[in-house]
Amino acid sequence: MLNIVIFGKPGSGKGTQASLVKDNYDLVHVSTGDVFRKNTSQGTELGKVAVQFMSKGELVPDEITISMLKEEIKSFMPCNGFIFDGFPRTILQAESLDDLLKSMELKIDLVVALDVDNKKLIERLLKRGKTSGRSDDQSEEKINKRLEEYDNKTKPLINFYKIQEKFISINGVGEFNEVTNRLISTIDSKI
């Protein structure tokens, strides 16, 4: 089994690239953002709670995110592995993911970060906001809040995975297929 985390700031292309590389390795793509948005559009209880945080650019609380993610993972077992996009986003989430995988005799093999500067991220997200209807893409203020959440809660994961010698960062700027090729050659060189 191969388990990969695609890591990066909001708008760095985690979702875009995860969906482009998953078939290459026959992995299940798990996106916490997509699961929350699906629940929101279906009006479920989980969706009603999640949207309150997402619409402000804040992270959804750990206890909600972790239990939702555990159910997702279990629902796809058995499989060849996962590509996690947007999860983990806090140390507690990373520890919970490790515990869950360990209980199934599995582990995270590699964490690949997409490196993109804040100016480009803001441009990308505002551009998407014109057509996506996503409330969290609608203003620079909300995007800055997401970047702040990243700095405070998600950035510490870099060290968490560096200590485990699983972290690698690649340039996330360029044409979609250029970034995909970089990502695939990085994964291939590490597995």
Task: Give residues in contact with ligand B4P (CB under 6 A).
Answer: 8, 10-16, 32-33, 36, 53-54, 58-60, 65, 85-87, 89, 93, 124, 128, 136, 146, 174, 176, 179
Minimum distance from residue 124 beta carbon to ligand B4P (Å)? 4
Known active-site residue 120? no
Active-site pick, 14, 22, 37, 142: 14
User: Nearer Cβ to ligand B4P, position 32 or 105?
Assistant: 32
Please give the single-letter amino acid code of residue 79.
C
**Interatomic CA distance for residues 90 and 158, integer angstroms:** 10
User: Nearer Cβ to ligand B4P, position 78 or 161?
Assistant: 161
Closest by CA position to 76, among listed 1, 187, 169:
1
Known active-site residue 124? no
Token reading at 130: 């014109």
The contacts of residue 114 (CB under 8 Å, 6+ apart) are: 6, 7, 8, 12, 13, 14, 17, 169, 170, 172, 179, 183
Active-site pick, 9, 22, 37, 146: 146
User: Nearer Cβ to ligand B4P, position 149 or 187?
Assistant: 149
Known active-site residue 128? yes
SS3 172: coil
By annotation, the residues acting in catalysis are 14, 89, 128, 134, 146
